[in-house]
Amino acid sequence: MIFDEFSPPKTSETSEPVDERRWDSLGFNPVQTDYMYVMKTSEDGNFTNGGLRHYGNIEMIPSAAVLNYGQGIIEDLKAYKKQNGSIILFRPEENGLRMRIGAERMCMPAPTIKQFVEAVKSTVLANKRWVPPANKGCLHIRPLLLGNGPVLSVTPAPEFTFLIYVTPVGRYFEGGLKPINLVVEDVTHRATPGGVGNIKAIGNYAGILKAQAAGKANGFSDVLYLDSVHNRYLEEVSTANIFVVKDNTISTPVLEGTILPGITRKGIISIAHSQGFQVEERLVSVEELFDADEVLCSGNAVGVLPVGSITYKNKRVDYGESGFIIYERLSSALTNIQMGLTEETKGWTTVVE
């Protein structure tokens, strides 16, 4: 991978405000912003001397490990603009830690958590004109860790690059906050025991595209996957964790190496405890869906969403006849923290400016 020699661009070069009309039509597609952050490993294998570059194409050699063998990690987090104009992040240190855990599994060096958070802050500040106004969307932040050094045999790359780009986004699903309709996939599995389902390895997502496309072609919003051993226990949706509500108990699949430890998931569990719910992290069978009061999913991209229906083996169960009371309580509490609408006592938010 080749970049021009580092010379920090003057971020004031592009300080004109973004056309306000853009915020009303935001979807979940990439929008070219102004700057990206790049940091490479030095000869000792550590990350040093990172900095901003103008956003643009990158050049990569054909023998790069990430292209040949998928040696790469992604992360996702968001920046929100408060009513007073300040910008906040939601638990960025958790993303930095998760990247380090994933990197260790993939035989990659990773930035320290401090480097990660500071790089995120720098990138957001450089692109602050792209942070949507409060209640209009948010700035999606995509850190990448890439094995860009040349390899031919199956071996770790000799060189690595850490890169961050950002893009303003609206809701992940076209329906916004409307309940989504899921179909249970019992043929394709997103992860296997001993694999990399519990980290954000870049190859994890391409393997589910076919099942997801088939589900959407049949009118479903997304796909809910089962475990690959028993083909019975819930794992997660394509890009989200799942919660099943029955009475005062909220159950979510236990983390046993095949499920991504979502940061939004972690927040929902904490909030549910504080609101007096009994939270169980355990094996949750697909049959329990048909007796549930509510089902909801959570993730950085989707936020927190209610599930309106789930179809399994051509049998459909609908939710929400009496409303989505538990979803509304949990989602409201979490969203208010993420957007800075309530006093923050958990230490979950970081002010960028």
User: How confident is the model over 138-153, as pLDDT tens digits?
Assistant: 999 999 999 999 999 9
What does pTM read for this prediction?
0.94
Q: Catalytic site residues?
A: 200
The CATH architecture to which 180-339 belongs is Alpha-Beta Barrel (3.20)
pLDDT at 40: 97
Which three-class secondary structure state does DSSP give residue 268?
helix
pLDDT at 343: 83
Q: What sign has the CA pseudo-torsion 12, 18, 23, 28?
A: negative
pLDDT at 16: 77
The CATH architecture to which 20-169 belongs is 2-Layer Sandwich (3.30)
pLDDT at 13: 55
Q: What sign has the CA pseudo-torsion 214, 219, 221, 223?
A: negative
Say if residues 35 and 120 touch (Cβ distance below 8 Å). no
**Using the 8-state DSSP alphabet, how is residue 191 labeled?**
-
pLDDT at 189: 97
Task: Quote the CA–CA distance of 162 and 150 in Å, as a whole number.
Answer: 16
CA terminus-to-terminus distance, the chain: 32
From residue 183, alpha-carbon distances to 5, 118, 211, 293, 296 in Å are: 49, 40, 10, 18, 14
Which helix (H) or strand (E) is 306 found in, with range?
A: strand 303-312
**205 token code pair:** 């997502």
Each residue's pLDDT expressed in tens, for the chain with a length of 353 residues: 444 444 455 554 556 778 777 898 899 999 999 999 999 999 889 999 999 999 999 999 999 999 999 999 999 999 999 999 999 999 999 999 999 999 999 999 999 999 999 999 999 999 999 999 998 999 999 999 999 999 999 999 999 999 999 999 999 988 878 999 999 999 999 999 999 999 999 999 999 999 999 999 999 999 999 999 999 999 999 999 999 999 999 999 999 999 999 999 999 999 999 999 999 999 999 999 999 999 999 999 999 999 999 999 999 999 999 899 999 999 999 999 999 998 888 899 999 97
pLDDT at 15: 66
pLDDT at 345: 84
Structural domain boundaries in the chain: 20-169, 180-339
pLDDT at 123: 99
Which helix (H) or strand (E) is 18 found in, with range?
A: none
User: Got the DSSP string for 58-117?
Assistant: -B--TTBHHHHH--EEE--EEEEE-TTS-EEEE-HHHHHHHHHHHHHHTT-----HHHHH
